[in-house]
Chain A
Amino acid sequence: MNELVRLTEVTKVYQEGVTGALNGVTVSMEEGEFTAVMGPSGSGKSTLLNLVAGLDRPTAGSVVVADTDLGRLGESRLARFRRDRVGVIFQFFHLLPNLTVLENVLIPAQLASRAHARSRARELLARLGIAEVADRYPARLSGGQQQRAAIARALINRPTLLLADEPTGALDTRSGEQVMELLEELHGDGQTILLVTHDAKLATRHTARVISLIDGRVADDARLETGDRRPAEMIRIRSEARTK
């Protein structure tokens, strides 16, 4: 597999010592990987995502995504990188309230023709199970539907990398689970995904790689196994020796 993202000795310092900074982070991700970044609040996980998305620049070190060193790009080329290469979804969806779902999805669309863009948008909405709300305004949608609309918008330009910052944080358990299942399906189709979450149950359920950040440093980078163990190897209600 090819390397898609590489952070080398990345440091991000905020003025006034705000938390969430990064301190010498070196980490890479391969094409097609579904990686979770975990850590307590203020550990730097959203900062890391913003740097990979080209939404922010490091104070030191380099961020390379799809062979492009983001630090070397000027503002306009960085904006083009964001539009063409990455799709981002956030905890609170960030849909524009005065546009319909379909119009929201079309915002980043830079496809050859408008008709082509609309057909791709409708196709995505159908695939994400929200075709019927295409002409509604976000306020009339449930949280789960709004997040799916945001996913459609993130995917409209077929991004190399999908970034998800606490995508289930504002959803009830069931809608959150559905959104995660969607992400897993997209991953199954080859989409590279970087997920930021503080929910370990969710991360380990859907991803096989978990990077843990603590105080802006990588505390652990775990590649988990996906084996079918016997129940008795996973849960021991009481050992035989102690049973009376």
Chain B
Amino acid sequence: MSLKYGVLGLLSEEPMHGYEVKSRFEAMLGGSWEVNIGQVYATLQRLERDGLVRAAGERGDRGKLAYEVSEQGRAALETWLAQPDSGPQQLHEEIYVKLLLATRLANGDLGPLLARQKRSYLQRLRDLNRLEERARGEGRRDLARLVRGALLHAEADLKWIDELSEETTTEEIKRR
């Protein structure tokens, strides 16, 4: 869904051919989303079929075809931009299943699992901190904002693990 609008948004700046769309899209996202060229072409074809983009001029070197946004495409982009993001909260599923299973299999002793998960979240925070710093250093304020969002999510994950660890420790002390 967002690839479609990402492509549409980039084409609304200027006409481009498929490969330019791919590299500009990846640069915009600071390398955090790698798309393959096939996906980009498929997206462009769907957008053309729906009348949101059209070919701009004739095929150029090596048969490359540039696309531009139609009026209808511009309207669709504006409508999409004006809509708030909604839908269910996306959670990374694996840790939830691990937790549920560990509770059943390890007889409630989640300590080691939580400690390992915590360490992984701390490392993630450190990596994202560096990425944010790098983005700022390169003057990529837009990308730094994106990384900031990821950082705050990672921090929330860590708080959640801390809460579970505290709960587990308290229960363990009570049992003794």
A237 adjacent to B33 (CB under 8 Å): yes
B35 adjacent to A243 (CB under 8 Å): yes
User: Looking at chain B, what size class is its interface with the partner chain?
Assistant: 35 or more
Q: Which of B39, B111, B127 contacts A234 (CB 8 A)?
A: B127
From known contacts A217-B169, A240-B39, infer whether A205 and B129 are also in contact, taking CB-CB under 8 Å. yes
Binding site for A on B (CB under 8 A): 1-3, 29-36, 39, 111, 114-115, 118-119, 122-131, 133-134, 146-147, 150-151, 155, 158-159, 162, 165-166, 169-170, 173
Closest chain B residue to A216, Cβ basis? B169
A200 adjacent to B31 (CB under 8 Å): no
- Interface residues of chain B: helix, strand, loop or mixed (majority): helix
Assembled-state Cα–Cα distance A200/B161 (Å): 12
Q: Which of B125, B146, B155, B169 contacts A215 (CB 8 A)?
A: B169
User: Looking at chain A, what size class is its interface with the partner chain?
Assistant: 20 to 34
In whole Å, how far is B33's beta carbon from the nearest beta carbon of chain A? 4
A238 adjacent to B34 (CB under 8 Å): no
Q: Which of A205, A214, A232, A234 contacts B166 (CB 8 A)?
A: A214
Q: Which of A201, A219, A231, A244 contacts B131 (CB 8 A)?
A: A231
Binding site for B on A (CB under 8 A): 40, 200-201, 203-205, 208, 210, 212, 214-215, 217, 219-220, 222, 224-232, 234-238, 240, 243-244
From known contacts A210-B122, A244-B1, infer whether A226 and B130 are also in contact, taking CB-CB under 8 Å. yes
Q: Which residues of B contact A201 (CB under 8 A)?
A: 125, 129, 151, 155
